[in-house]
Structure 1
Amino acid sequence: MSSQPKPPLETALAALLEPLAQAMVAHGVTLGTATEALKKALLSAAENTSASPLSDSRASLLTGLHRKDVKRLRGLTDGAPEKRSSNAAALVISHWATSPEYQDATGTPRDLFRKGGEDGPGFDDLVRLARIDMAPGTVLNTLLDHKIVEAREAGDLRLLTHAFLASGGGAEQVAAYQATLSAHLRAATQNLLAAPSDARNFDRAVRYSHLSLESIEQLRQISEDRAQALLQDINALARTLQDRDEGGGHGGRFAMGAYVLPSPAKTAEKDPEEGDET
């Protein structure tokens, strides 16, 4: 039996996969489906990190995939990306919350009628401003269903929140789960693989234990309020900058996120640096 310690990433893998496995079991994703996805990801990673095209044999050596799998996976074609009403809804919310023509004198998003009038543009104009290839009614129904927009007795529409929070475990919530976690994991992975002289992404967390329920609730409320305010400020600035940069042929992307994890009960997960910022 080998006495060599496992590589650190191999040791961390189980903890990293545990929450994902919980989501998989809840959504009926079996080992076969997960294995196929992992094979595709390994092959893609090997190809994207190689300075030159990889032969099937070389790809097999780097990933541990059988050459037949490599050949089969390379022959697959991805289907057209599925339109997500959640993406459209998020864009509409962003414009409604940040575009000057949709704000009142206090900077609060205006209540809108479907059609524009003397008071300014309406909801349908908002959908066109966001350049969404969907019918305004479809986008509106999504916002109403998720209680992000309220239809008022006067016939106008009121924005209730600045964030699209999909619920119910459906396709929209899974899409949000994918977008949020993949961006964070990509940032953390880039840091993990960065050379000592390379710039690193900002990725910090504060973790504490031995807290009472009252303390956890206080920290949760303050964290959520301040994170939401910061995200709204960044969203408004990013919208302004994107409008300024439009037409310049730019392709740069930016992502920022925040998470809060209150855990009133002691869990099996161990934080190596609890009581500190890391």
Structure 2
Amino acid sequence: MSTQPKPPLETALAALLEPLAQAMVAHGVTLGTATEALKKALLSAAEDSSDQPLSDSRASLLTGLHRKDVKRLRDQEGGTPEKRSSSAAALVISHWATSPDYQNMSGAPRDLHRKGDQDGPGFDDLVRLARIDMAPGTVLNMLLDQSIVEITPKGRLHLLTHAFLPSGGGAEQVAAYQATLSAHLMAATQNLLAEPGDARNFDRAVRYSHLSLESVAQLRQTSEERAQALLQDINALARTLQDRDQDGDPRGRFVIGAYVLPSPPGEADEDPEEGDTK
């Protein structure tokens, strides 16, 4: 039996996969489906890591995949990504919350009619502003179903939240889960693989244990309020910059996220009481 310690990433793998496994079990994703997805991801990562095209044998050596699997995966036709209604909802919310034409005198999103009126553009104009290839009525029904928008007694549309938080475990929620988790994981992975002297992504966390439930509740509320305020400020700035950049070369992408995890009693980790990641 080998006495060599396992590589750190191999040791950490089970803990990294545990939350994903919980989501898989809850959504009925079995080992066969997960294995096929992992094979595709490993092959894609191996190809991205090389400046030259990889032979099937070389790809097999780098990933541990059988050469038949490598050839099969490469022969599969890539499907067109399905348009996600969550993106449409997020775009509408972003424009509604940040565009001057859709704000009232106090700077809050104003209530809208479906069509424009003396107060300014309406909801249908908002959908066109967001460049969404969906009928305004379809987008509106989705926002109403998700309790993101409500109809006021005067028949206007009122925005209830600045964030798209889909519920019900459906396609929109899975799409949001994918977008948020994949972006954070990519930022952390780039830091893990960065060479000395390379620029690193900002990725920090504060961890505390030995707290009362009241203190956890207070920390959660304060963290959520301040994180939401930051995200709204960045959203407004990004919208302004995006509008300015349309005449240039707008190929850049940017993601900022935030999360709060108040651990239940008995699930606090054994990390130092306070610390920053990487």
State the match for 1:43 in structure 2: 43
CA contact (8 A) 1:207 1:273 kept: yes
Residue 70 (1) aligns with residue 65 (2): no
Output one character per residue of 1:72-126: Cα deviation in whole Å (capped at 9) or x when no partner.
Answer: 0001122121121111010000000000000111101110000001110000000
SS state of the match for residue 52, structure 1?
Answer: coil
Equivalent-residue separation in structure 2 for 1:70 and 1:173 (angstroms):
32
Letter in 1 for 2:271: P
Change (3 A) 1:164 1:35: same
State the match for 2:255 in structure 1: 255
Letter in 1 for 2:171: A
SS state of the match for residue 150, structure 1?
Answer: strand
Listed as ranges, the gaps of 5+ residues in structure 1 are none
Alignment of 1:1-278 (within 5 A): 1-267=1-267, 270-278=269-277
Percent identical: 81
- Structure 1 stretches of 4+ moved >6 Å: none
CA contact (8 A) 1:216 1:264 kept: no
Listed as ranges, the gaps of 5+ residues in structure 2 are none
CA contact (8 A) 1:212 1:264 kept: no
SS state of the match for residue 206, structure 1?
Answer: coil
SS state of the match for residue 83, structure 2?
Answer: coil
SS state of the match for residue 44, structure 1?
Answer: helix
Equivalent-residue separation in structure 1 for 2:88 and 2:105 (angstroms):
27
Equivalent-residue separation in structure 2 for 1:102 and 1:173 (angstroms):
27
Equivalent-residue separation in structure 2 for 1:167 and 1:234 (angstroms):
24
Equivalent-residue separation in structure 2 for 1:270 and 1:106 (angstroms):
44
TM-score scaled by length of structure 2 = 0.98
SS state of the match for residue 47, structure 1?
Answer: helix
Equivalent-residue separation in structure 2 for 1:118 and 1:261 (angstroms):
45
Letter in 2 for 1:273: P
TM-score scaled by length of structure 1 = 0.98
* C-alpha RMSD of matched pairs (Å): 0.9
Equivalent-residue separation in structure 2 for 1:274 and 1:74 (angstroms):
47
SS state of the match for residue 153, structure 2?
Answer: coil
Q: Say how many residue pairs are matched.
A: 277
